[in-house]
């Protein structure tokens, strides 16, 4: 069909559950993934296998990227299948509206790296135009920018001025404790790329508000605009 290049999206969930950290692109197939992501992870891994096979047999320059947790405009606020930050925002909003405690699954100790969606979009375009390896590449902020679910939740609670009780339900599974990813390979290509930071403090950083899509109600739209106010002053030029 004349397709010159395909860029597929993998996930940090595909890496082995028992591994050393930080994880990098060479470690994808080093062992079984976490049991909570068994089917999904192996399906994603097979994309890498397919890319390699197409290259060896047909010379196709098909590749894949591995982003960490994404947040930003046009997010999915569905609690059942949304990403971490919008899911937390929805939970805080619901607890505030209903006057109930905020219950979060697990201990809050697992750690994650978050990448702003517009940063990820810029990197996708770069991969499409400039990255010519078949091997995958991790698209992520640095290891030093990793935060706990507890830190993320407390930042959202503060930003939305939720005054109720915050409960971490330790009877529920934490899932994979961490998936600390190295962006060393990316930095070799783009040493000066500037990520929009999700600050590691518990209170949201004042700065230019990230515009979020309108969720199910006007009130929730106001809340989400306020919560994802995560850029430091002077950093707004990188995002509309």
pLDDT tens for 134-176 read 999 999 999 998 989 999 888 888 878 889 999 999 988 887 7
The DSSP bridge pattern shows strands 111-112 and 147-148 to be: antiparallel
40 is catalytic: yes
pTM of the model: 0.76
Distance, CA of 24 to CA of 31 (rounded, Å): 14
- What is the extent of the structural domain holding 176? 5-238
Select from 218, 215, 229 the least CA-distant residue to 90. Answer: 215
Tokens at residue 31, please?
A: 């062992």
Q: Which of 40, 42, 131, 189 is catalytic?
A: 40
Select from 237, 159, 228 the least CA-distant residue to 198. Answer: 228
| Residue 139 CA: distances (Å) to CA of 55, 95, 112, 191, 209 | 22, 33, 14, 13, 24
CB of 212 closer than 8 Å to CB of 55: no
> How much of the chain, in percent, has pLDDT values that exceed 90?
51
pLDDT of residue 11: 94
pLDDT tens for 204-213 read 332 223 333 4
Task: Spell out the residues 6+ positions from residue 93 whose beta carbon is closer than 8 angstroms to its own.
Answer: 160, 219, 220, 223
CB of 182 closer than 8 Å to CB of 22: yes
How many domains would you assign to the chain?
A: 1
CATH code at position 163? 3.40.50.720
């Amino acid at each position: 069909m004349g397709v010159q290049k395909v860029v597929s999206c993998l996930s940090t969930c595909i890496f082995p559950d028992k591994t050393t950290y930080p994880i990098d692109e060479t470690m994808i197939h080093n062992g079984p993934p976490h049991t909570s992501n068994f089917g999904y992870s192996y399906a994603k891994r097979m994309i890498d296998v397919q890319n390699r096979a197409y290259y060896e047999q047909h010379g196709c320059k098909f590749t894949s990227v591995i982003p960490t947790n994404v947040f930003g405009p046009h997010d999915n606020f569905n609690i059942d299948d949304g990403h971490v930050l919008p899911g937390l925002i929805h939970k805080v909003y619901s607890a505030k509206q209903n006057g109930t405690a905020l219950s979060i699954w697990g201990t809050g100790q697992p750690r994650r790296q978050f990448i702003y969606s517009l940063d990820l979009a810029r990197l996708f375009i770069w991969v499409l135009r400039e990255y010519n390896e078949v091997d995958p590449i991790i698209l992520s902020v640095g290891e030093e920018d990793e935060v706990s679910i507890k830190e993320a939740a407390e930042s959202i609670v503060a930003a939305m001025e939720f005054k109720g009780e915050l409960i971490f339900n330790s009877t529920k599974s934490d899932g994979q404790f961490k998936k600390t990813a190295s962006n060393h390979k990316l930095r070799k290509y783009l040493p000066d790329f500037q990520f929009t930071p999700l600050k590691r403090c518990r209170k949201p950083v004042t700065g230019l508000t990230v515009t979020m899509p309108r969720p199910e109600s006007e009130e929730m739209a106001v809340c989400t605009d306020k919560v994802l106010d995560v850029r430091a002053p002077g950093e707004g030029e990188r995002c509309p």
